[in-house]
Structure 1
């Protein structure tokens, strides 16, 4: 990990302030000025940390982490989840902050035990899974300070919490360890119309491997994973956009259902 210093640190602090102002005021930007865009993942994570701090308090800290990879061979990328943005199924999302309204169906894990940083011996997959309290279907809600984050520079999008805007979770999945995720089907519907339906479609392939990766490789930034934190593991459905008055329903064949509703004046 290379921490920015001197003039570059000042530039990246300005980067975080620009993205925060855009999110808070609703005056979105097309992209960051070229000189303020992160150029490495260390810089991305530095900016993410500053943005996340603005949405956390000692009582409402980091609620967990989102992690994913665009394909099974790619290095995963992650971002913090502010606790105040996590809600149970059936949540009503209202207010001017819901502008982009992107939706992704995902599978998330709630930790029941701590996994503090460990430098001597990496955590095994079995050790990390033993720390999982439960598995849940979730909807990741995508928001951004960027007008169209899919058209902006990728490093700008990643720095802006990877477009994270909220996490809505469904009921625990019984016996989730026995599910064949390669055969698991998911459907995402908006206002009763199925917009996406796929099978075994998490882009990282064996998405469970992301948990030990985060516990080990990510620990330099996360400072460990802890009981009560959520780990969501990447999209099964891509990015689907909703209207201001929409009901959203995600159904996994085995892993259950999760819903939310928007009430936003466009």
Structure 2
């Protein structure tokens, strides 16, 4: 890492420790590419000791706006990953939002050689279970809308916390007709059908697994990835009760 990327990692880690946000302006020229952003992710995690008790991160987020977009990835701190019904009232959020998603769980370990050979058609065979999941997105940047993508990526792709519903065996689904309903507080429910940005949550698996194995590491069985929002980002407030249901897959509840 360069002195400037090291300083960025230290600033992001301290922002998480002190529950404060950062002005992005001094950091706009710090990152030149995604590799540097991922180095900052790793340095923040090491500074905060997120994975000191694990051989490798066991829960990830991955996704992008479409199949043609560059997908991004981030390991998620274990303290914020909770089984539903989940209460996150003990955590500090700045401007939280809700993403309704499907999480996938690997049923076997994946070596670098396996990841390199994967294609989108056969990657789903590595998955043994799926579950409804909800990511609470939140940022350490004061003005998220004006923050460049690489700085968002360095900040764990603006992750706040993750709730995971009950696991069920993975099965092929007509994702184009899959219905999702999201209720936040007293607002009208948001209903979407077939709106996963890649058309199939499992489509991202080869890209994600090649990212995880890029330094020669094997991905353990049981590793989980949440795969992108069906509803974009929906605003929420502290104290809101959130319910998300995917027809035929499951539902979960959480408190922000």
TM-score if structure 1 supplies the norm length? 0.86
Secondary structure (helix, strand or coil) at the match of 2:113 reads coil
CA distance in 2, matches of 1:81, 1:172: 19
> In angstroms, what is the RMSD of aligned CA positions?
2.3
CA distance in 2, matches of 1:111, 1:52: 23
> Equivalent residue for 2:13?
20
Secondary structure (helix, strand or coil) at the match of 1:214 reads helix
Q: 1:103 to 1:228 in 2, by over 3 A?
A: same
> Equivalent residue for 1:50?
43
Pairing partner for 2:232 from 233, 238, 243: 238
Shift of 1:96: 5.2
Structure 1: stretches of 5+ with no match in the other structure: none
Which segment drifts farther, 27-36 or 147-156? 27-36
CA distance in 2, matches of 1:31, 1:94: 27
> Equivalent residue for 2:32?
39
CA distance in 2, matches of 1:191, 1:120: 41
CA distance in 2, matches of 1:46, 1:32: 20
**Matched length:** 254
CA contact (8 A) 2:243 2:253 kept: yes
CA distance in 1, matches of 2:194, 2:140: 31
CA contact (8 A) 2:120 2:206 kept: yes
Pairing partner for 1:89 from 78, 81, 84: 84
Secondary structure (helix, strand or coil) at the match of 2:15 reads helix
CA distance in 2, matches of 1:245, 1:79: 26
Alignment of 1:92-171 (within 5 A): 92-95=87-90, 97-118=92-113, 122-125=117-120, 128-171=123-166
2:164 pairs with 1:181: no
2:221 pairs with 1:227: yes
Secondary structure (helix, strand or coil) at the match of 2:76 reads strand
CA distance in 1, matches of 2:157, 2:216: 15
Secondary structure (helix, strand or coil) at the match of 1:177 reads coil
TM-score if structure 2 supplies the norm length? 0.89
CA contact (8 A) 1:101 1:141 kept: yes
> Equivalent residue for 2:65?
70
Shift of 1:163: 0.6
CA distance in 2, matches of 1:165, 1:233: 15
CA distance in 2, matches of 1:110, 1:120: 15
> Equivalent residue for 2:194?
200
Shift of 1:220: 0.9
Which segment drifts farther, 64-73 or 218-227? 218-227
2:246 pairs with 1:248: no
CA contact (8 A) 1:115 1:128 kept: no
Shift of 1:68: 0.5
Shift of 1:187: 1.4
Q: Deviations over 1:68-116 (max 9, x none)?
A: 1112211211111222221111111123522322210001111221102
Structure 2: stretches of 5+ with no match in the other structure: none
Which segment drifts farther, 49-58 or 213-222? 213-222
CA contact (8 A) 2:181 2:192 kept: yes
